[in-house]
Structure 1
């Protein structure tokens, strides 16, 4: 078979050229392109590492700012609570003073009212005693036919009212 006899000659030249082309491709890609690609990958890795480091520093700065913010906020809250407590204390003190002043005014008003009531009671009692004395004079005159003077009738009425 003539086809089989030519295999060694044909395949040998094909293997030679295959080796030459693969070698050329290896040299072109392996020594020409791979270092450029590796350099690009290394630059990208360095850039990513730098960005990560920068992000960590920014995170630390943000954490420090947040801590300062929280400290300022806590201080402001404490100051507000202190101000609120002082305001409540001042309001309570003013209310207490107003109540004390009102109590004094009420006490004075009560004392005046009690004095007026006592004066009216005394006046009413005196008027009642005078009426009772007149009524006593009239009854004695009508019942016994005796005329009693006003002083005697008044003393009799006072004497009877002390027993009541």
Structure 2
């Protein structure tokens, strides 16, 4: 069978060229492209690792800043409360001083007003006694027809007013 004897000759050249093509592809891809792909993958992995390390450092710094910020906030809050307490104490002291001053001024005004009232009352009572003495002298003159002096009428009015 001649076809079977030609198979080896026909396929032998095809196997030869197949091996040459696969060899070229292997060396082209394996030694030409693969190192470039591996280098870009290594660079990407290195970049990711560096970014992760930078993110970890940034997180640690943020944690430190957060802790120091919280401490600073606590210190600031304490200082603010101390200043607020001092301001409240000063305001209360100032208010007490102003209140004491106002009380003293009012006491002086009340005392002066009471003195003026006492003078006005005494003056009014004196005026009442004088009017009462004049009225008593006029009444005695009209009722009994006798003449009473102003001194006698004033003495009689004082005696009646003192006994109530």
Q: Same fold (TM over 0.5)?
A: yes
Gaps of 5+ in 1: none
Paired position in structure 1 for 2:81 = 81
Paired position in structure 1 for 2:144 = 144
Shift of 1:57: 0.7
Paired position in structure 2 for 1:16 = 16
Q: Which ranges of 4 or more aligned residues in structure 1 deviate by more than 4 Å?
A: 2-8
Q: Distance in 2 between matches of 1:89 and 1:44?
A: 65
User: Superposition pairs for residues 1-164 of structure 1, below 5 Å?
Assistant: 9-162=9-162
The alignment's C-alpha RMSD in Å is 2.4
Q: Distance in 2 between matches of 1:4 and 1:122?
A: 163
Shift of 1:41: 1.6
Gaps of 5+ in 2: none
Shift of 1:5: 8.2
Shift of 1:7: 5.5
Q: TM-score, with normalisation over the residues of structure 1?
A: 0.84
